[in-house]
């Protein structure tokens, strides 16, 4: 497994993957970038993430290889179907997966998503529209949703 670190507006992102695909992305709270060479296997991931943060990319085209249970993988696959700039509730996601009673399990699987941003768990909100839970912190979830908002508030000054 190769590891790389890149700077993002949300903090330092740690990327992990190999020839089988991207296994995880996490955003660290540290403000220093560890010195590491960007492995070739993670170059495209870093490039696409930079495009996303620059507002030039809405869909990722990466080979993904997250580790989890079959249920977690079903949830993560469903997250990939949420369009850029859109949100769904945990209840809607549970219905889409065919079991309204699985809402807590869906929320738990969402929270275990190892591929932040690329697998857009930040696009899942509470039924009442609240920004419920996000492993990276609600401030990051709020930033990501604002970044993807198709109707950005323009400053008049």
In this prediction, residue 132 carries a pLDDT of 83
Choosing among 1.10.10.10, 3.40.920.10, 1.10.510.10, 1.10.600.10, the CATH entry for 70-148 is 1.10.10.10
User: In order along the chain (157 residues), what is the average pLDDT of each group of 10 residues?
Assistant: 91 93 88 72 95 95 96 97 94 93 93 94 90 83 91 53
How far CA 116 is from CA of 108, 123, 155, in Å, comes to 14, 11, 29
List % helix, strand, coil for the chain (3-state, nearest 5).
Answer: 35, 20, 45
In this prediction, residue 55 carries a pLDDT of 93
In this prediction, residue 63 carries a pLDDT of 95
Q: Which of 13, 102, 121, 124 is catalytic?
A: 121
- To the query of whether residue 121 is one of the catalytic residues in this protein, the response is yes
| Contacts with 150 (C-beta within 8 Å, 6 or more apart), sequence order | 85
In this prediction, residue 82 carries a pLDDT of 96
Domain ranges of the chain: 2-53, 70-148
How far CA 151 is from CA of 7, 85, 129, 154, in Å, comes to 26, 9, 17, 9
Rounded to 5 degrees, what angle do the CA atoms 76, 80, 84 make? 140
Does an H or E element contain 8, and which? strand 2-8
Does an H or E element contain 21, and which? strand 21-28
In this prediction, residue 96 carries a pLDDT of 94
pTM equals: 0.86
Round to whole Å and give the CA distance between 27 and 39. Answer: 18
């Amino acid at each position: 497994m190769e590891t790389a670190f890149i700077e993002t507006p949300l903090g330092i992102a740690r990327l992990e993957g190999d020839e089988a695909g991207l296994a995880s992305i996490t955003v660290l709270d540290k403000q220093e970038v560890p010195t590491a060479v960007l492995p070739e296997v993670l170059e495209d991931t870093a490039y696409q993430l930079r495009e996303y943060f620059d507002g030039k990319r809405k869909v990722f085209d990466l080979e993904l290889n997250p580790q989890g249970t079959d249920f977690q993988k079903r949830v993560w696959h469903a997250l990939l179907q949420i369009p850029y700039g859109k949100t769904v509730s945990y209840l809607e996601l549970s219905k889409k997966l065919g079991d309204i009673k699985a809402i807590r399990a869906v929320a738990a699987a969402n929270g275990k998503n190892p591929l932040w941003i690329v697998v857009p768990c930040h696009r899942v909100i509470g039924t009442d529209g609240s920004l419920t839970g996000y492993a990276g912190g609600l401030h990051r979830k709020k930033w990501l949703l604002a970044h993807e908002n198709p109707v950005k508030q323009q400053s008049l000054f």
